[in-house]
Amino acid sequence: MLSKAARSFGWGLTAVGLVLGMSVSHSSGAAQELRIGFLAPTTGIFAQVGRDMTNGFQMYLDEVKGDFAGAQVKFILEDEEGKPPVAVRKAEKLIRQDKVHMFIGGLLASTGYALAPVSTRLKTVYVASIPAADDLTQRDSAKYPYLVRTGWTSSQPNHPFGEWACQQGYKRIVAIAADYAFGHEVVGGFQKGFESCGGRIIQKIWPPLGTIDFGPYIPTMKKDADAIFTLMVGPMSLQFPKQLASAGIRKPVLGGGTSYDEFVLPSMGDEVIGHISALQYSAALETPENAAFVKKYRAKYGKVPSYYSEANYTTAQMIHEVMKKTKGKWPGTEQFVKMLASIQLESARGPVRLDEMKNPVHNVYIRMVRKKTLHGYDKEELWNTVIKTYPNVGQFWTYSKNEFLKQPVYSRDFPPCKYCE
């Protein structure tokens, strides 16, 4: 069972390596105890994101009282500090010392790339609930037989988003995005979808990750663009729309989902009303599953759930579904991976299943920021209101998988900016 300290998880998240329970064997049919390691940044600049990640998983555990079909979950939280080398060290500790059946999480794409080889080398299940690096389940997937992704790939929602933007009549778009792998993959996916439909990306601007002064960049944006596509994270997400508005720019703004995720949206102002983004989740979804999730989460933690929370809540659900099929018995590493990859679930984000490369197939929502009341709350708030749903979107969108995998991974220079002037 979960300790009182764990259940109180306002936790302060100062405890590193919170260990609950006793060790178990990894053999098939082992004692009815399931040890789960969880890697999240609980200190440093990403600590609040880590709290959202852990809150989602923890809430599901609390709902079922730590019981997965007779298996008592022993939950071990480790602070990966947002640093890949630390994550690797903590994962190895979880596997060798704590003898976990699986480890979950990591935040950054670079952390996912660092953790995946650990799962292969030590033959332990790795559930990538947040790291979105495309190649974890694309060109490199064969290297990682024990990895299952339950979140998304960076480019996945942006392929249909690019097509949608083209269909709205946008012809010429400027892209401005944080200059790191995630930003490159988000822009790359949008560019492929947009240009496949006939649109043109006419400029790419790459402010360094962590930029909060966009004064050197905003004046350089092409004046004849129809719209702006942006991908920002953390404080960048807050500052860019404010400075854009202060500069008097009134062009339509489209953005990668993390630019307006519920993690940052409550801290934003009216300057983002009307901004449009795409992601596999929105707290504004008016489905019974999501309405219940949002109400429970808000009652427990005093805030609207972000995609970081939803991804890990859904991950816990999926693991529970596997354990229901085994009646609480650990089926062995290889069999668990096969069973997890076969799960189909109606979740807070909508229907979820995994493709043959163990990446989710799920809805992608085009979302517009609007101020409104929702889910029974009286106060007007900013919500990512769904204006269009693309059902059952996989990581290759409508493209041939074989042809897609022949192209380079999306990067700063791919796709090339052939219409840049």
In which element (H, E) is residue 147 found?
strand 147-149
With H, G, I as helix, E, B as strand and everything else as coil, classify residue 279.
Answer: strand
> In this predicted structure, what is the pLDDT of residue 305?
98
- Residue 140 tokens read as 């490199």
Closest CA to 263 of 313, 316, 303: 303
Please tell me the CATH code under which domain 158-279+364-406 is placed: 3.40.50.2300
In single-letter form, the type of residue at position 63 comes to E
Distances (CA, A) of 65 to 14, 36, 292: 23, 15, 18
In which element (H, E) is residue 201 found?
strand 200-205
* Domain ranges across the chain: 4-153+286-354, 158-279+364-406
> In this predicted structure, what is the pLDDT of residue 25?
41
> In this predicted structure, what is the pLDDT of residue 10?
35
> In this predicted structure, what is the pLDDT of residue 171?
98
> In this predicted structure, what is the pLDDT of residue 15?
37
Round to whole Å and give the CA distance between 359 and 357.
6
Q: Which portions of the chain are predicted below pLDDT 70? A: 1-31
Helix axes 307-325, 288-301, angle to 10 degrees: 110
- Residue 17 tokens read as 């390596």
How confident is the model over 225-284, as pLDDT tens digits? 999 999 998 889 999 999 999 999 999 999 999 999 999 999 999 999 999 999 999 999
> In this predicted structure, what is the pLDDT of residue 234?
83
Residue with tokens 């085994």: 326
Q: Which CATH superfamily is domain 4-153+286-354 in?
A: Response regulator (3.40.50.2300)
> In this predicted structure, what is the pLDDT of residue 8?
34
Report yes or no: 228 and 174 within 8 Å, Cβ to Cβ: yes
- Residue 166 tokens read as 């083209």
Distances (CA, A) of 35 to 38, 179, 343: 10, 37, 20
| Model pTM above 0.95 | no
Report yes or no: 290 and 385 within 8 Å, Cβ to Cβ: no
> In this predicted structure, what is the pLDDT of residue 161?
98
With H, G, I as helix, E, B as strand and everything else as coil, classify residue 352.
Answer: strand
- Residue 395 tokens read as 């990581």
In which element (H, E) is residue 362 found?
strand 360-372
> In this predicted structure, what is the pLDDT of residue 19?
42
- DSSP letters of 11-49? -TT--SSB--S-----STT--SEEEEEEEE--SSTTHHH
Same fold, 4-153+286-354 and 158-279+364-406: yes
Label residue 41 exposed, middle or buried (CB < 10 Å: 0-12, 13-18, 19+): buried
In which element (H, E) is residue 175 found?
strand 172-177
Round to whole Å and give the CA distance between 283 and 367.
10
Round to whole Å and give the CA distance between 340 and 353.
10
